[in-house]
Structure 1
Amino acid sequence: MSKTQHQGGRHSETIAPSEQGTPTERDPSRDTLYEVLANRRRRYAIHYLQYHRETVDLGTLAERVGAWEHGTEPDRLSATQRKNTYTALQQRHLPKMDDAGLVSFDRRDGTITPTDTLSEVDIYTEIVPSGDFPWSRYYLGLSVVELSLMTAVWADVFPLTMLSDIQWSVFCVVWVVISAIVHQIMTRRMKLGTEPAPPEVQS
């Protein structure tokens, strides 16, 4: 499985095409996907469609996307907020997603159907709050700490001698395993379409 990561400030997406199937003329390029994902409203629409995996009417999608944008519930959106989101999706965002082959947008019926291409694309959104650091740096730091620890254990530095070499080795392995489990859970939360709300809303 090939993966490409695009970093842009505090926000990045990782796109992993499915290993099943072969590219078709409707498969979007990575550049096209990045262009689609560059807009938050389109990311919200993609999240909703990937999570529900069924045809949805434009009004329902606009209400849900608008609610996420304004940090409220669909039934509390004002008429202006609902109309602005509806119009933007109808005139700009859904046609662009349709052209990219991610959805099938029926303008006449006002319905949106996720395509097989959208179902086969894994999109991860990483939000790195100010003061935090990405997992790559965490694992680098973890490696340095464990290397230093094992070196000190090998040199019989007190009080590390209170535990045996095997016990320290088990401790280091358990530390890595716990880190990997936490990383996996957090990564799943950052994937579009796996949780009821988009990663950006959860953050």
Structure 2
Amino acid sequence: MGGNLSEHRDELFDLLSNSRRRYAWHYLKSCEGREAIPLGEVAEQVAAWENDKRVGELDTAERKRVYTSLQQQHLPRMDRADIVDFEDNEIRLADRADEFDVYIDIVDDDDIPWSEYYLGLGAVCAALITAVWVTGIRLPFVSGLGWAAIVVLAFVGSAAVHVYIDHRRKLGQYEEPPGVRSSRETANAVPADD
């Protein structure tokens, strides 16, 4: 990839703007630890996700269309960008692939950004401490140090949940890529009675 961080990010976002490349990278991330993945295996799984089918339900044309585009276009481009190593129709995640994880966290549409969450938590804690200080409320089971512990535990607990959720949202953590999951969930949703 390019020289500086901004160029890396721009090129990575451009690469991952294509669902076929995202699906391929997702599958490779889910196979992390394997030495090399045959192109045919990756192509079958990507074709299955694209066609909303199981691998065994794919026809030859669906497999071939994905295989050919991965072989001739997508994987060579990902190889040039140092995301994968593609040689002899076998694919491995490149040594540098993990460096790009920070750019591909999956955020649900209904989530609030963590920065806003922490700002809100800080405001609530500040209001609580201010109220205790101004009113002089003394609870027998909570000392001054106890209030500080409550604030610290709120932030440490939130940070632990944040780390857990971020880990689960990385590409390769689920059987299916995020776009496939959301479209399938929408398709399987039970319509509301009018």
Please give the TM-score of this superposition, normalised by the length of structure 1. 0.70
1:88 to 69, 79, 85: 69
Matched, 1:174 2:163: no
Q: Which has more helix, going by share of residues?
A: 2
Q: Distance in 2 between matches of 1:169 and 1:201?
A: 44
Query: 1:155 aligns to what?
Result: 134
Per the normalisation by structure 2, the TM-score is: 0.73
Residue 117 (str. 1) matches residue 100 (str. 2): no
2:167 matches 1:188: yes
CA-based RMSD: 2.9
Structure 1 residues 115 and 146, CA, compared in 2 at 3 Å: closer, same or farther? Answer: same
- Which string of whole-angstrom CA distances, capped at 9 and with x for unpartnered residues, describes residues 83-135 of structure 1? 332222122211211222322323xx422233323255434533333332111
User: What secondary structure sits across from 1:63 in the alignment?
Assistant: helix
Which consecutive residues of structure 2, in runs of 5 or more, have no partner in the other structure? 183-194
Where does structure 1 lack aligned partners over 5 or more consecutive residues?
6-27
1:32 aligns with 11
C-alpha separation in 2, matches of 1:58 and 1:136: 40
| Counterpart residue identity of residue 44, structure 2 | E
Q: Counterparts of 1:1-203 in structure 2 under 5 Å?
A: 29-53=8-32, 54-106=35-87, 109-156=88-135, 161=139, 163-201=142-180
Q: CA deviation at 1:139?
A: 0.7
If you compute each CA radius of gyration, which structure gives the higher value, 1 or 2? 2
Indicate if the aligned counterparts of 1:50 and 1:192 stay in contact, CA closer than 8 A.
yes
Q: Which has the higher strand share?
A: 1
Measured against aligned partners, the alpha-carbon deviations of 1:147-200 in whole angstroms (never above 9, x if no partner) come to 111111112266x74643333322222211111111101111222345554455
Does the 8 Å contact 2:106/2:170 carry over to 1?
A: no
Distance 1:38 1:176 in 2: 35
Indicate how the Cα distance of structure 1 residues 93 and 182 shifts in structure 2: closer, same or farther if over 3 A, else same: same
Q: Where does structure 1 differ by over 6 angstroms across 4 or more consecutive aligned residues?
A: none
C-alpha separation between the residues in 2 aligned to 1:121 and 1:38?
14
Shift of 1:58: 1.2
Contact persistence 2:86–2:92 (CA under 8 A)? yes
> Percent identity over the alignment?
44
